[in-house]
Amino acid sequence: MLDCIFCKILKNQIPSKKIFEDEDFLAFHDIHPIARIHFLIIPKLHVDSLVQCTHVHQAMLGRMLLLGAELASQQGMNDGFRTMINTGHGGGQEVFHLHVHVFGGETVIPKL
């Protein structure tokens, strides 16, 4: 996806503070953190959002969540953390490359 910011981050065309990379995922700190620790996990395969996912993406979605928990621990969020997937304009999504927010510590988002 030529105009996708996160695809550009994947290709190192835009710098990011990476915390994890393997053949399927990249995790990096959010440029505008909403909590003391706030990072994003993206699949290397471009998918616009959760609503575009099908059964083909099922294993990837599960692994992305498990990776979130693993990286949250690695980042020192031993007291717990929150995960968020914004989907579509109505869901507050701004970057249309599927991603999971993982954040912990004091946050500007009220508890639901």
- Where in the sequence numbering do the catalytic residues fall? 99
From the list 102, 103, 35, 18, the residue with the least C-alpha distance to 67 is: 102
The answer to the question of residue 103 lying near Zn ion (CB under 5 A) is no
Q: Are 86 and 92 in contact (CB under 8 A)?
A: yes
| Both tokens assigned to 82 | 């929150």
Residue 41, φ and ψ in degrees, nearest 5: -115, 130
Among 16, 64, 67, 77, binds ligand 5GP (CB under 6 A): 16
Q: How far is CA 29 from the centre of its chain?
A: 9
Among 1, 14, 45, 51, binds ligand 5GP (CB under 6 A): 14
Q: Which residues, 6+ apart, have CB-to-CB distance to 76 below 8 Å?
A: 37
The answer to the question of residue 28 lying near ligand 5GP (CB under 6 A) is yes
Which residue stretch of 22-30, 47-55, 79-87, 95-103 sits at the interface with Zn ion (rule: CB under 5 A)?
95-103
The answer to the question of residue 97 lying near Zn ion (CB under 5 A) is yes
Among 57, 86, 105, 107, binds ligand 5GP (CB under 6 A): 86
Binding region for ligand 5GP (CB under 6 A): 5, 14, 16, 28-32, 40, 86, 92-95
